[in-house]
Each structure stands twice: as C-alpha cells, then as structure tokens.
Structure 1
Amino acid sequence: MKKIIFSAAVFLVLFSCQNDTTNSPAPTTTAIAHRGCASQEVLEAQLAADPTLAIRMNQIEAFTQSAISKSNYRLVNGKIVIPVVVNVLYRTAAENISDAQIQSQIDVLNKDFTATNADFSNTPTEFAGVAANVGITFQLVKTNRKSTTKTSWGTRDAMKKTKQGGLDPTSPSTNLNLWFCTIGGGILGYAQFPGGSLATDGVVCDSKYVGVTPDSAGAYPYNLGRTASHEIGHWMNLRHIWGDASCGNDLVDDTPIAKTSNFGVPAYPYVSTCLPAHNEITMNYMDYTDDRGMYMFTNGQKARMLAIFSSGGARAAFGI
C-alpha cells in the first residue's frame, strides 16, 4: 500500500509535473485501439496557463486529506444526488444522440457509483474488502442541443464556450455539466479537476461513447458508458491508478501501485512489475481498460470523492 506524504512541495509536484507520455493517443479516423483520456494533458495545459491553479489544487488536496482523516464528510440524508445538465453538440444525426441514449448514460452512472452494476460481483476476492458503494447518484435536469458545422472539437474547451460555437456551462457550481460531441484525436473524453475555472467546469465525452450501445454499433469496446464513469471520477478528484507516472502515486492508499495504464481486459491476477510484487487493480474505473473490464471503485477513492462535497470542500456548493 502507498504512503501519502503531506507537504506543499510534494503536492505541487503531484499536480504540476506528472505526465504519461507513453499513453498519449495517436489521431485516428477509424476504431480507437486504446482508451484515450485527455484529463491529465488538459490539466497540465491549465496549470501552464494559470500558475495559481497549482496553489488551489494543493489547498484542495490538503483539505481532502484532512477531511478523510477526520471522516469529515457526513452527507445530507446519507446520500449525494448530483444534478446533471447535458449539452449535445452535433453535426450529423448520429451525433445528435437521443434522449433515450442520454438516459442510458445516467442509468450507468447511477449503477456504477452505487455498486449496483451487474459486473460489480466480478470483483476478485482480493479486492472485495475495499470495493465501494460510493453512494452518489445522478439526476438529469436539462438537455441542451446545438447544431454545429464543426467536425471535431479537440481538448481546448471550445465546446464549453458559446462564443466559440459551443455551449456555456449551466450553473456549474451546482450542476455537473456534460458535453457530448465529437472530440477527435482518438480521445474518448476528458474532465476538469476540482479547482479549475467554473467557466470550463465539467466533463466532455465523445458522443460515440455515450451510454450503452450494442456490440455491433461501432463503439465497442467502449460501448457500456464507462467513459463517463471514468471521467466523472476525475471531476470528483480521482487520479489514474498509476498516478500518471511509472509506479506513481494516485493519492489513494487502497489502490495497489500500478506500473502504467492497462488496456483491454487483463486476466486476473495481473502481477505488477512495481516492487514489492503484488497484483494490480485493473478492474478499477480509473484504469484504461475496456468498458467490460472496469467495474469498481475503492473505499479510498470513495473517501476522496465524498471529501470534496463536504463543508469547505471544492464542490460543497452542491449542498452537502
């Protein structure tokens, strides 16, 4: 298990210097071979553009660790319900995904974050003791749609800005804004970590990988809605399990150290090359495995997520 060291200098390094260059996705015009999440790359660009962001994130991390140690994240009526605003940007009919498809994504989130997903029972015995019901649910409150001529939006937040052809977020301090659009560059999605600007706060998912679709629909193996589960994990302050560095620190004590990102559906046990020898938790939502290969959060990750909603937390305005 990992030991987290508390110092401003360490926090600054964690939030400003990590980079996983070996897993940067290559542009593609056909099927995506490996999951591509641009959250870390977007964070690094934001840190470069705003030197004060690292300070805010360090403060958030210090608060998070304090809240976890004090169990200072009591919930209202024992649960968190996140209002969700969906923003659909489309050029083609296929990109203008249906209300039913959007609802299927909300349904996936509600199962994944309450451990009621059917594949949660696949959790290996080794990790069953740390497998968590996060206790967070999601409620769709509004869907905005906008026709566009853009063939792709990239990862520079243009889809979040009306003046750049996208849609501004709706009350982002009290709503989780999701943008569904064609991102391009082999990227399935990306999220903004707590501490960033409210003007760009939220999660972006490529419209092809929203909700549940049949294996034959072209989105396989990312057709079970887990892209949003992964990205919302970032939005709730979770790092990739490999800490975006070789055998890095994801700031969670009960996720075993991972060498790097894992792809496909690794067979359990998957022995890590990070010493001492141990098995990696490849079925965690914060790895890069296929949708059918990820199906659980841990108690340590749950504690991090709940901390940001507690009084004084980065997302306390959601009413906890």
Structure 2
Amino acid sequence: MKKMLLSVSVLFFMFSCQKDDTTDVQSETGAVTAGRYCASHEVLERQLKENPGLAQKMAEIEDFTNNAIASGRIVNGKMEIPVVVNVLYKTASENISLAQIQSQIDVLNKDFNALNSDYNTPNNPYSAVRANVGINFVLDQVIRKSTTKTSWGTNDAMKKTSGGGMAAVSPTTKLNLWVCTIGGGILGYAQFPGGSSSTDGVVIDSRYFGNTGTATYPFNLGRTATHEIGHWMNLRHIWGDATCGNDQVSDTPVHNTANYGVPAVGHRSTCSGTPLEMYMNYMDYTDDRGMYMFSNGQKARMDAVFAVGGSRASFR
C-alpha cells in the first residue's frame, strides 16, 4: 500500500510530458457525463502548456511538501479560511440562495473536521487512517453578477472581468469559489498550488453546490466542493490520473482508475497486489453518498501547503 514519493526531477518530467490531446476538455466528457467529472487535471495540463515555468514551480512545491512531512514542519491546531463566493447567473435557479451557499460552508466544516454523519460508516476497511484535517471555513462574502452566458467552460473566463466574470478577491488570504454553470458534464475544477493568484480558487457548477436548493442528486451533498478544495490544497486524484498511478500519498492504495457510483464493499484494484481500493475517499469520483473520508497522509499534504514557507502560508 505504501507508495514511493517521486523525486523533483521525476515530477518535473511527469508535468512536462503530459499528453497533448486534452486542450478541449469538454470533448473528453462524453464517457463520464453520467458520473462525477472534475476538470482540475485537464486545467492543470493547459496551464502547464501556457506557462513553461509552472512545472518547475510545482516541482519545488512538491519537494517542500515532502520535506515538511518528513521533518514534521506542518501546521498544527485549527485554521480558519475565509471564503468568498462569486455567483454568476443567467437564470433564477443559477442565482443560488444564501441558504444553499451556507449549506456548502457547513458541509466543508463537517467534512474537514471529521464531523460528517457518514464518517463512522460501518465496514470501512480504512477507518484506521481516517483523518480529522482540522480546518474551518468561514463565509466572508457573497458577490453576485448577472450574465448572458449559458455556460463558462474551463478556461477561467468566470475569473476575469474581461470575459464577463468576476476577479478573485484577495486570493492570497481568501479562498475564492466561483459558482456558475460550467457545461460539458463537468461538476467543478480547482487550481493547484503554484498557479497565478489572479485565477486561484475553485469553480463549482451551481447544481452541485451545497446540499439544498438546486443541489442535484447524486451530487447533492456538497462533496464536489470538498473534492475540489482537496485539489486546491495539493491533493491529486486518488488514482494518480493514470492507470495504477501515484497520488503522492503514503497511506492510500493504488487504484486502477476512478470509481463511479457507490462501489460494493470489498472492491479491489487489479493493480499489482490487488489492493483494496479506498473508494470512500473524497478524491475519488464516487457519488456524494459514497465518499466520506480523507486519509492521514492526505492531511499531511494539506497541512504542508500552509506551513511556514509553504505555497499557501499566507493563509496562516
């Protein structure tokens, strides 16, 4: 189960050699529109192509993360992260209510503090490595803007006033969430640490935000935001975005690929050693009701980005 962490040089190579056929994210969504689809990895690939220096910067973040975990230089205690919610709407249903927005904040506070009602789900084979991340989220402000756009895609247009969107508010000290219709079957996407501050944050489709109002089954429990904020805090998809890939976490098993729906208890990978998959992890693609935990190794990665010298230390 334990996986070797990649060196900086190997990580740089991995970032520099991504496939070239993913510039049009929506063209890849046909096979997964019935299930969860997060475009964070594809957006990262686009940003790596646009910014030649980003791979090196992210490799340095990875090196810092590994050293912080190894040396214990991680943040202790409870953090509070102020959240700015930017709502872009054309229809009344897209202009989600304050109650729906607050429901998402409440879900995040439960999921990141092991207070979610499904945290103690019976028969969880990974209960020994469940993590209480210990981060609180506080709603700082809600900003609303009417638009004529029917969908926004994944090119960050919603984050730019020039594209009809809304600029990030204090992105080095506040987590910005953009709520809008993304299109292409995409539930949300996040920017990993290391990207431009002007586009930093998370985008979530209004139909999968919070657990009330327009929140739509089977993604109606607010777990899309939990998943995407995991990316924002430097977590990869649990299958490492490759067949039997590496998510850089020591206590998560190797997965074949993403899981959809709610896998049966005991679902195993066909990767080497046929490990039991951690399909209940927030960084998989299961339905909202099927995911309910982060691991201790994931917590360590998240803590590292907020450590002194870390890529999100300004949030401390």
Sort the TM-score into its range (normalised by shorter chain): over 0.9
Give the C-alpha shift of residue 277 in structure 1. Answer: 1.9
Give the corresponding residue for 2:314.
Answer: 317
C-alpha spacing 1:17/1:118, structure 2 compared with 1 (3 Å):
farther
Question: Superposition pairs for residues 168-179 of structure 1, below 5 Å?
Answer: 168-179=167-178
Give the C-alpha shift of residue 15 in structure 1. Answer: 3.0
Q: Name the SS of the counterpart of 1:270 in structure 2.
A: coil
Give the corresponding residue for 1:64.
Answer: 65
Give the corresponding residue for 1:82.
Answer: 81
Select which of 267, 272, 279 maps to 1:270: 267
C-alpha spacing 1:26/1:175, structure 2 compared with 1 (3 Å):
same
Q: Is the CA contact (8 Å cut-off) linking 2:192 and 2:234 kept in structure 1?
A: yes
Looking at structure 1, the residues matched to 221 and 146 of structure 2 have their Cα atoms a distance apart, in angstroms, of: 26
Give the C-alpha shift of residue 123 in structure 1. Answer: 5.8
Question: Superposition pairs for residues 225-304 of structure 1, below 5 Å?
Answer: 225-304=222-301
Give the C-alpha shift of residue 237 in structure 1. Answer: 0.1
C-alpha spacing 1:243/1:189, structure 2 compared with 1 (3 Å):
same
Looking at structure 1, the residues matched to 177 and 5 of structure 2 have their Cα atoms a distance apart, in angstroms, of: 34
Q: Name the SS of the counterpart of 1:69 in structure 2.
A: helix
Looking at structure 2, the residues matched to 249 and 313 of structure 1 have their Cα atoms a distance apart, in angstroms, of: 22
Question: Superposition pairs for residues 1-320 of structure 1, below 5 Å?
Answer: 1-17=1-17, 24-26=28-30, 32-75=33-76, 78-122=77-121, 124-213=123-212, 219-319=216-316
Looking at structure 2, the residues matched to 109 and 42 of structure 1 have their Cα atoms a distance apart, in angstroms, of: 23
Query: What RMSD, in angstroms, separates the aligned Cα atoms of the two structures?
Result: 1.9
Percentage identity across aligned positions?
A: 64
Q: Is the CA contact (8 Å cut-off) linking 2:64 and 2:310 kept in structure 1?
A: yes
Give the C-alpha shift of residue 12 in structure 1. Answer: 1.1
Show CA shifts across 1:46-98 (max 9, x none): 000001000000000000000000110133xx111111000000000000000
C-alpha spacing 1:24/1:298, structure 2 compared with 1 (3 Å):
farther
TM-score (norm 2): 0.95
Looking at structure 1, the residues matched to 5 and 307 of structure 2 have their Cα atoms a distance apart, in angstroms, of: 22
Show CA shifts across 1:240-282 (max 9, x none): 0000000000000101000000000001110110111220000
Looking at structure 1, the residues matched to 260 and 124 of structure 2 have their Cα atoms a distance apart, in angstroms, of: 22
Show CA shifts across 1:96-132 (max 9, x none): 0000000000000000000100001116442111000
Q: Name the SS of the counterpart of 1:143 in structure 2.
A: strand
Give the letter for the 1:50 counterpart.
N
Give 5+ residue unaligned stretches, structure 2.
none
Give 5+ residue unaligned stretches, structure 1.
none
Looking at structure 2, the residues matched to 80 and 14 of structure 1 have their Cα atoms a distance apart, in angstroms, of: 32
Q: Is the CA contact (8 Å cut-off) linking 1:112 and 1:296 kept in structure 2?
A: yes
TM-score (norm 1): 0.94
Looking at structure 2, the residues matched to 258 and 176 of structure 1 have their Cα atoms a distance apart, in angstroms, of: 30
Give the C-alpha shift of residue 218 in structure 1. Answer: 6.9
Looking at structure 2, the residues matched to 59 and 218 of structure 1 have their Cα atoms a distance apart, in angstroms, of: 38
Looking at structure 2, the residues matched to 150 and 188 of structure 1 have their Cα atoms a distance apart, in angstroms, of: 17
Looking at structure 2, the residues matched to 298 and 291 of structure 1 have their Cα atoms a distance apart, in angstroms, of: 17
Looking at structure 2, the residues matched to 288 and 83 of structure 1 have their Cα atoms a distance apart, in angstroms, of: 27
Give the letter for the 2:52 counterpart.
P
Looking at structure 2, the residues matched to 18 and 238 of structure 1 have their Cα atoms a distance apart, in angstroms, of: 18
Looking at structure 2, the residues matched to 18 and 288 of structure 1 have their Cα atoms a distance apart, in angstroms, of: 21
Give the C-alpha shift of residue 16 in structure 1. Answer: 3.8
Show CA shifts across 1:183-231 (max 9, x none): 00000000000000001000000011110037xx671100000000000
